[in-house]
Amino acid sequence: MSVQSAIRRRTAPDIRARKNGDPIVMLTSYHAHTAALVDRHCDVILVGDSLGNVMHGFETTVPVTLDMMILQGRAVMRGSQQALVVVDMPFGSYEASKEQAFHSAVRILKETLCGAVKLEGGVKMAETIAFLTARGVPVMGHVGLTPQSINTLGSFRAQGREEGTWQPIEDDARAVAEAGAFSMVIEAVAEPLARKITETVAIPTIGIGASPACDGQVLVLEDMLGLSPRAPKFVRRYGQLGPMIEAAIEGYARDVRSRAFPGPEHVYAMKSKRD
């Protein structure tokens, strides 16, 4: 008997085939329970290194490790059934050489069973992307604002807001597409530039603070749910979970202090002799 699941997960080639098609819907998730909810509505779940900010309270994604990504990638795979799960390669796990990138990517694929990895960078990473894709590792690129480079960039400012600065970003996008990536994230880039890149490259672009013309969109789940205390300008809040969670915690604390919780329905009676 086959042990394969009846539900077929989306694959990197499925997403690659969505260029100029129905918009690709992607959200981040780092846990099994949120992955199950996201899975019902999204094509791609990104286990982003933004987990460093969201789960661990780091100011940047620089401290995130491969082990942290693998642990949460496994949780998301267990919680989801249909979406393509993409796991971010964290800072320091792929930049030294294409061989280092291959070993890190293989650990991610083998230990999480996810369908693809994502890495930041354009022209400088093109050789690495080609090396990985030629060896069976589907790669999602990430151009524009690349948060792992915060220490050389100096700030998380949007990119390409003056036309004179467009060329290197266009070169990055072209290099990622030509190297064999199956799609690319464009983060925090002037709208006309993101639109132009989307019209020019052959693979789907997935925007975050980019353009409605992109082939898909991604947001950090906790940002759009209203759980993150601060969120960038490009986030639309689809919920206000922060205040809802706080009200629930406040109610619980009040009930414990007044002995209103637990109630009779929450405690175990003694077994009767006949049971």
> What residues make contact with ligand KIV under the rule CB under 6 A?
28, 46, 48-50, 88, 185, 187, 208, 218, 220
Of 147 and 180, the one with the shorter C-beta distance to ligand KIV is: 147
Give the shortest CB-130-to-ligand KIV separation in angstroms: 21
Q: Are 168 and 144 in contact (CB under 8 A)?
A: no
Give the shortest CB-119-to-ligand KIV separation in angstroms: 10
Q: Are 171 and 141 in contact (CB under 8 A)?
A: no
Q: Residue 51 belongs to what H/E stretch?
A: helix 51-54
Of 109 and 119, the one with the shorter C-beta distance to ligand KIV is: 119
Of 1 and 204, the one with the shorter C-beta distance to ligand KIV is: 204
Give the shortest CB-64-to-ligand KIV separation in angstroms: 9
Q: What's the rounded Cα separation, in Å, for the pair 237 and 166? A: 30
Give the shortest CB-158-to-ligand KIV separation in angstroms: 13
Of 212 and 243, the one with the shorter C-beta distance to ligand KIV is: 212
Catalytic residues: 187
Cis peptide before 138 (omega within 30 of 0): no
Beta bridge partners of 159: 189
Give the shortest CB-168-to-ligand KIV separation in angstroms: 20
Q: Name the 3-class secondary structure at 235.
A: coil
Q: What's the rounded Cα separation, in Å, for the pair 59 and 68? A: 16
Going by C-alpha positions, the residue among 123, 128, 116 that lies closest to residue 24 is 116
Look-up: residue for tokens 């020019």?
A: 200
Of 105 and 243, the one with the shorter C-beta distance to ligand KIV is: 105
Q: Which residues in 180-192 are b (16+ Cβ under 10 Å) and which e?
A: bbbbbbbbbbbbe
Of 68 and 220, the one with the shorter C-beta distance to ligand KIV is: 220
Q: Are 110 and 74 in contact (CB under 8 A)?
A: no
Q: What's the rounded Cα separation, in Å, for the pair 157 and 194? A: 15
Q: Are 190 and 221 in contact (CB under 8 A)?
A: no
Give the shortest CB-86-to-ligand KIV separation in angstroms: 9
Residue nearest to ligand KIV (CB): 48
Q: Residue 44 belongs to what H/E stretch?
A: strand 44-47
